[in-house]
Amino acid sequence: MQPIKRPFNRNTMIPVTIVLATLLLLTGCATTRKQAQREQLDKITAGLQDNRQAIDPKELASLTDYLTVAYARNPSLQTAYHRWRAAIEGISEAQLLPNPNLSFSIFAEQIDTRHKVALTQAFPTIGVLRYRTRVADAQAQAAMHTFEAERLELLERVTRAVMEYHYLYQSITITAEYLRLLDELQQIIEARYRSADASYPDLIQIRIERERLEDRLAALRDDRLPRSETLAALLNLELTEPLPWIADTEGLLPLPDEVPFEDIIPLLTYLNPELQALQARIIAAGYDIKLARRRGWPQFMAGVEWMTMTGMGDAGDEDDFAFMAGVTLPIWRGGYRAARNAAQEEEKALIAQHKTLQNSLRAEVAMLTARYQDATRRRNRFENSLIPQARQAKIVARQAYAEGRIPFAGLIDAYRMLLDLQLMSARAHADQVTILADIGCCIGDLDSLFEKNNPTEASPTSE
């Protein structure tokens, strides 16, 4: 006997259509926030390259080159990048409804109903999906700012390592030049000693000074490999030989004469990525509070059930639909209240952390601007006054020693003074650059301070 099929009734599909339309309405806007985040991701990370791309260390000839390679290859930066991408994917997950439930029942004793199939869908409380999506979006924003903070910190560390490497090169060059001058002076002393115009203590002193300087130069040259490896670690490079020197600093970067504290301190709140990341987390915490409040609200369920029933007499089996609705009973009020209180305390903690960081950055910027002014003042004094005077004093001392008017120790002191001043000038220059990088990292605007060395806009150049 064939089962009797009931005629199709269009009115029975209206509730099903309403349910499906509701699902589409709640999930159909899931791409808007995610798309906006992806656009930011594509814009900021346009300079990222494949980490396995081959890099010839011999081609690294400028600060721009080092910054570009570090931006493309540094593992820490890529860690922040992938965490940002993961946070963006979390936006779609936050917008999803719970999985629908499909069940099938077959009755052991088929009296009235043979079997039935039920499809149900739970619906969160009004506003839950919206706030959950906003939490995920704020967390993705925080991940983006964390990535930017990691990028700025990386560029500051690379700049510092490059300038220390360059300072080492200058120290070796200046010391080697001083050693060459001592060699010339030693030849003069030995010639004068053979003609009895110079004393034996003078000859001994020049030899001691030369050996002392040779030992110093050897120590500087030995320092090249560890400094090179430190820089290579930031670039994620494996070296077979030390990195090339950056010999020419012409146009290395623009150095302002001063960095006024009053002009840059207002930029902290708006540009520092760490503060912006905390601000995004505060926004997420605010939405978490609203979500915690809604945990105490009832949730709804809707579904449809299809069943096959035994017909009357010889009428055969009959099919029928049933529409279901349900609601949860949030009776555990103490737990919901505790969750809300915990969310509120977390928001307060983040606000306090934001203020603490802001105060710390303000104090750090004040200290850095003062150090930059000092480094600029020292470098100007060395280059414009002290070094020219030391060069003149060296010439005068050499002439005076030749005429017998000063002892040999006075001549050595004049040479040593010029060496020390040149090294201190190189140190002041390195300090200027690294302190400026620190300031840019604090205010979150390192690219404008190093406008000529923006790795996302400038292409590698050879100097």
pLDDT of residue 204: 85
Place 3 in a pLDDT band, splitting at 50, 70 and 90.
very low
The residue type of 202 is D
SS3 label, residue 21: helix
What are the beta bridge partners of residue 101? 120
What's the farthest any 2 CA atoms get from each other in the chain?
A: 142
SS3 label, residue 324: strand
What percent of the chain is modeled with pLDDT above 70? 80
Mean of the per-residue pLDDT values of the chain:
81
Q: Cβ atoms within 10 A of the Cβ of 295, count?
A: 17
Place 13 in a pLDDT band, splitting at 50, 70 and 90.
very low
Global pTM reads 0.79
Domains, the chain, ordered by start: 58-453 (1.20.1600.10)
Q: What is the DSSP letter of 386?
A: I
pLDDT of residue 96: 84
Per the structure block, which two tokens stand in for 104? Answer: 């099938």
pLDDT of residue 189: 78
Place 332 in a pLDDT band, splitting at 50, 70 and 90.
confident
Q: How far apart are CA 397 and CA 4, in angstroms?
A: 122
Q: What is the mean pLDDT of residues 25-48?
A: 62
Q: How far apart are CA 158 and CA 97, in angstroms?
A: 46
pLDDT exceeds cutoff 60 at 301: yes
pLDDT tens for residues 153-173?
998 999 899 999 999 999 999
pLDDT exceeds cutoff 50 at 285: yes
Task: Report the half-sphere exposure of 187 (CA within 13 A, side-chain side).
Answer: 5
In order of 19, 60, 291, 425, 434, the CA distances from 463 in angstroms are 67, 9, 57, 22, 20
Per the structure block, which two tokens stand in for 36? Answer: 């906006």
Q: Which of 126, 132, 118 is nearest to 325 (CA)?
A: 118
More confident call, 209 vs 249: 209
In order of 190, 205, 404, the CA distances from 198 in angstroms are 8, 12, 10
pLDDT tens for residues 112-156?
656 788 898 888 888 888 899 999 999 999 999 999 999 999 989
pLDDT of residue 252: 56
> If 0-12 CB within 10 Å is exposed, 13-18 middle and 19+ buried, where does residue 439 land?
buried
Give the least confident one: 185-189, 226-230, 307-311, 325-329.
307-311
Per the structure block, which two tokens stand in for 107? Answer: 């009755």
In order of 89, 98, 123, the CA distances from 296 in angstroms are 28, 18, 14
pLDDT of residue 51: 46
Our measurement of the distance from residue 87's CA atom to the centroid of its chain's CA atoms, rounded to an integer in Å, reads 16
pLDDT tens for residues 38-59?
776 776 666 565 444 556 777 7
Give the least confident one: 8-22, 122-136, 362-376, 435-449.
8-22
Who's near 64: CB < 8 A, 6+ residues apart?
Answer: 452, 453, 455, 458, 460, 461
pLDDT exceeds cutoff 70 at 317: no
pLDDT tens for residues 362-373?
999 999 999 999
The residue type of 176 is A
pLDDT of residue 56: 74
Place 196 in a pLDDT band, splitting at 50, 70 and 90.
confident
What are the beta bridge partners of residue 302? 121, 325
By the 8 A CB rule, do 225 and 155 touch?
Answer: no
Report long-range pairs for 244-249 (Cβ below 8 Å, ≥24 apart).
244/57, 244/58, 244/60, 244/61, 245/165, 245/166, 245/169, 246/61, 246/62, 246/63, 246/162, 246/165, 246/166, 246/169, 246/463, 247/169, 248/463, 249/166, 249/429
Place 275 in a pLDDT band, splitting at 50, 70 and 90.
very high
Q: Which of 443, 241, 295 is nearest to 361 (CA)?
A: 443
Q: How far apart are CA 64 and CA 159, in angstroms?
A: 10
pLDDT exceeds cutoff 80 at 10: no
Residue 364 belongs to what H/E stretch?
helix 333-381
Q: Which of 58, 70, 257, 45 is nearest to 162 (CA)?
A: 70
DSSP per-residue codes, 170-184: HHHHHHHHHHHHHHH
pLDDT exceeds cutoff 80 at 394: yes
Per the structure block, which two tokens stand in for 293? Answer: 């409040």
pLDDT of residue 121: 87
pLDDT of residue 44: 64
Who's near 188: CB < 8 A, 6+ residues apart?
Answer: none
By the 8 A CB rule, do 135 and 288 touch?
Answer: yes
Strand order in the sheet with 113-123: 101-106, 113-123, 300-309, 318-327
pLDDT of residue 123: 87
Q: How far apart are CA 298 and CA 59, in angstroms?
A: 65
Who's near 175: CB < 8 A, 6+ residues apart?
Answer: 213, 216, 217, 220, 419, 423
More confident call, 130 vs 312: 130
Backbone phi, then psi, for 366, in 5-degree steps?
-60, -45
Q: Where are the beta strands (DSSP E) in 270-414?
A: 300-309, 318-327
Give the least confident one: 25-34, 219-228, 231-240, 288-297.
25-34
